[in-house]
Structure 1
Amino acid sequence: MTAGPPPEEHPDGLWPALTEAAERVEKLLATLPEAGARSPAERAGIAAAHDAARALRVRFLDAHADAVYDRLTGHRRVHLRLAELVEAAATAFPGLVPTRRRLAAERSLPQAAKEGHEIDQGILVRAVLRSPVAGPHLLDAMLRPTARALELLPDFLRTGVVEMEAVHLERRDGVARLTMCRDDCLNAEDGRQVDDMETAVDLALLDPAVRVGLLRGGEMNHPRYRGKRVFSAGINLKYLSSGGISLVDFLLRRELGYIHKLVRGVLADDGRPGSWHSPRIDKPWVAAVDGFAIGGGAQLLLVFDRVLASSDAYFSLPAAKEGIIPGVANLRIGRFAGPRLSRQLILEGRRIWAKEPEARLLVDEVVEPDELDAAVERSLARLDGDAVLANRRMLHLAEESPHEFRAYMAEFALQQALRLYGQDVIDKAGRFERRASG
């Protein structure tokens, strides 16, 4: 079987049409003021040009996603992480996705002043993940340990401690204890936190002396919570309003990186015994919630094997209020809470207190604050068993197959990109920015 012509030379003519449409967008942008200063007619004109180009991107990638991915990865011999993939695509297929230079220029702008070029990245990632050939390969690439984790691994194996800006990691008594320590912002999530979390999860999984993992929030310096532990305040709205939340490096990396590794494990080509039947190194995980788990913090709880909470804690998923999609919560929360409560949480922003009966759908055990430490240690011991790993693998397979996860993430990549640049999100981000500066 011979390969067909390269996608840019295919007789369907989609690539020349796409490059022409992309050039029209660039020429029009060169004549316009920044996004926030345009007239209604100018906004309508550039929106129509973007829409025409994006329709062609979708058609081109629907027809040629596998060929594009094979070109970028050497026929799947090279495992590129998401950021590497979109950068390679910008070079190999000019006009398909924004260049690094274009994105760097946009990154310095507040969200309201951005053009929304990341939507084109969402179109590419959606097409790749939808492919039964390219999609699983990309998921495996994202399950590999990061270069940063591999660099830190020798010292961690020796000392059992790694201090990072957002996460403190300590191995003690066979437990990898990850403490989120962004005490200045109540463990609100940003790119720094995602990078540190993935590094810590990689190290915990790669360390053969670790049998169980624990995630908990550290003590805060915030005036309202000084000296108290807090789990997570969710996405950092200050960073969102100032344009610091990236589609690829934050919103997609978070889900396909460390959170997916908590579920499936890290893919390590290390020649260890048993790798023929278990290519991923996975371990059971416990989460302990002090204070609150808001937004992304609540999303995290859905992938842990056991969740404990202090009796004065609460949980919420204020996605509709923020205007974005709460990660993979839409796929996972129905298994725990059922469809009605899931809609109350996601669409209406309902807050659930740990002492409410409904909280037992989200957590395994609720204890008084001064009893949480002891309850955590009991839970860690309970999950430290020889049969736990095999059973959790089968539970995850039954609850969320790799195909189901990949299909969800394909659509999420585009829908979240569109939400990131929705006018309601822009307006809310602008109001938050004005409140923060006033």
Structure 2
Amino acid sequence: MSDALLLERTEGPVAILQLNRPQVMNALNLAIIDELVEKLKQLQDREDVRCVVLTGHEKAFAAGGDIEEMADIPLAEIKQKNQFLPWDQIPRFNKPLIAAVQGYALGGGCELAMACDMIVASDQAQFGQPEITLGIMPGAGGTQRLTKALGKARAIELLLTGKNLSAAEAYERGLVTKIVPHELVLNEAIKLARQIANQPPVAVTLIKESIYKALDTPTQTGMDFERNAFYMCFGTEDRLEGMQAFKEKRQPRFKGR
């Protein structure tokens, strides 16, 4: 890995990834997204990792795409690069991915946070899609995920004005999982990740997949998927352990099998 994306540490079953380009407010270039996707693939294969926290720095989770990289690129080249293809892999990561957001999450930074499963935000965090002010528009899910989170009227206002959204309003609208004091963001994200990491991994993955089905398919299609996933849980050792632990009034010890 380069210094632009750090595997900061692993705390038990929780891995912590840090965007590390503070000199440009963690601006996202093609290389760092490719590296993030590759690192998620590696963590997906690690049985000792059950949840991942993605963080930035105190001033910015990521303040947007790398304008220096995009400024002079011609249409044919940007189309050929298909630069958003790696972005599509982020929500497909089969373990819970939590964004710990301090400071700005703008443009690509907001899209990256929204591509995660949950967002723990600082009370000072700011979210937004200011691409309109640069003569462009979001391309990594901003128009889609923001609309689903905020509704049409609020999303179109933000997208067409480039205004920011406060952490408080993001929470009220359901974009953010929880708000905590600025200095506690990473600790609270890790705390949430540990709580989830103690759950049965197969059921966690199936629940995550079922939720994304709910976002992308008609209700009955999602219901069918959910029921099949429910049945699959009955083929796991963790289901036997969970129910036995309930009967014995003890904490279950889930193994991911």
TM-score of the two chains, using structure 1 as the length reference? 0.45
- 1:395 counterpart = 2:211: yes
Deviations 1:355-391 (A, max 9, x none): 3466543111111112223311221023222222111
Aligned equivalent of 1:234, options 39, 50, 64: 64
Q: 1:347 pairs with 140, 145, 160, which one?
A: 160
One-letter identity of the residue aligned with 2:5: V
Post-superposition Cα deviations, 1:211-240, rounded to whole Å, max 9, x if no partner, equal: 11111003xxxxxxxxx4520011111222
The equivalent residue for 1:50 is: none
Which residue identity is paired with 1:290?
Q
Summarize deviations over 1:171-208 as a string: whole Å, max 9, x none. Answer: 33112211000122111011222222222222221222
CA shift for structure 1 position 352:
1.0
Find the residue that maps to 2:60 and give its secondary structure: coil
Matched, 1:366 2:179: yes
Contact 2:167 2:179 in 1 (8 A): yes
Q: CA deviation at 1:244?
A: 9.0
SS at match of 2:69: helix
Question: Which one of the candidate residues 71, 88, 107 is aligned to 1:295?
Answer: 107
Q: Which residue of 2 aligns with 1:264?
A: 92
The offset of 1:311, in angstroms, is: 0.7
Q: String of CA shifts for 1:107-155, please: whole Å, max 9, x gaps.
A: xxxxxxxxxxxxxxxxxxxxxxxxxxxxxxxxxxxxxxxxxxxxxxxxx
* Alignment of structure 1 residues 21-40 onto 2, 5 Å: none
Rg (Cα) greater in structure: 1
Aligned to 1:243: 73
User: Residue in 2 aligned with 1:119?
Assistant: none
Q: Could you tell me which of 382, 389, 406 is aligned with 2:195?
A: 382
Separation in structure 2 between the aligned mates of residue 214 and residue 207 of structure 1, nearest angstrom: 15
What displacement does 1:394 show? 0.7
Aligned amino acid, residue 49 of structure 2:
V
Q: Does 1:201 align with 2:13?
A: no
- Tell me if 1:176 matches 2:15: yes
CA contact (8 A) 2:101 2:121 kept: yes
Aligned match of 1:222: none
Where 1:264 maps in the other structure, the secondary structure is coil
Amino acid at match of 2:147: G
Deviations 1:61-84 (A, max 9, x none): xxxxxxxxxxxxxxxxxxxxxxxx
Q: Which of 129, 135, 158 is the equivalent residue of 1:317?
A: 129
Alpha-carbon distance in structure 2 between the residues aligned to 1:338 and 1:176: 33
> How far, CA to CA, are the matches of 1:397 and 1:314 in structure 2?
29
Q: Give the CA deviation at 1:294.
A: 0.5
* Residue of structure 2 equivalent to 1:334: 147
The percentage of aligned residue pairs carrying the same residue is 25
Matched positions, count: 211
CA drift at 1:350? 1.9
Q: Is the 8 A contact 2:4 2:32 kept in 1?
A: yes
User: Aligned Cα RMSD in Å?
Assistant: 2.2
Q: Matches of residues 38-437 of structure 1 in structure 2 within 5 Å?
A: 163-169=1-7, 170-218=9-57, 228-243=58-73, 247=78, 252-253=82-83, 255-257=84-86, 259-265=87-93, 282-326=94-138, 327-356=140-169, 360-384=173-197, 385-386=199-200, 387-401=203-217
Question: Which secondary structure does the structure 2 equivalent of 1:179 belong to?
Answer: strand
Cα–Cα, structure 1 residues 358 and 213, in superposed 2: closer, same or farther, change >3 Å?
closer
Consecutive unaligned residues of structure 1, counting only runs of 5 or more, are 1-162, 219-227, 266-281, 402-438
Amino acid paired to 1:247: I
CA distance in 2, matches of 1:182, 1:342: 29
Q: 2:101–2:185: 8 Å Cα contact kept in structure 1?
A: no
- Residue in structure 1 matched with residue 225 of structure 2 by the alignment: none
CA 373–331 in structure 1, closer or farther in 2 if over 3 Å, else same: closer
Separation of aligned partners in 2, 1:311 and 1:229: 12
Distance 1:309 1:249, change over 3 A: farther
Residues of 1 paired with 2:103 and 2:170: CA distance?
18
Equivalent pair of 2:14/2:194 in contact (CA under 8 Å): no
Code of the aligned partner of 1:261? Q
Q: Measured at CA, do residues 237 and 357 of structure 1 come closer, stay the same or move farther in structure 2, by a change above 3 Å?
A: closer
What is residue 59 of structure 1 aligned with on the other side?
Answer: none
- Contact 1:262–1:303 (Cα < 8 Å) also in 2: yes
Contact 1:201 1:261 in 2 (8 A): no
Q: Is the 8 A contact 1:182 1:188 kept in 2?
A: yes
Q: Residues 247, 359 of structure 1: CA spacing in aligned structure 2 closer, same or farther, 3 A cutoff?
A: farther
For 1:216, give the aligned amino acid.
T
Is 1:306–1:379's contact at 8 Å kept on the other side of the alignment? no
Is the partner of 1:302 in helix, strand or coil?
Answer: helix
Question: Counterparts of 2:112 and 2:214 in 1: how far apart (Å)?
Answer: 19
Structure in which a larger fraction of residues adopt helix? 1
Higher strand share: 2
Output the TM-score relative to the length of structure 2.
Answer: 0.74
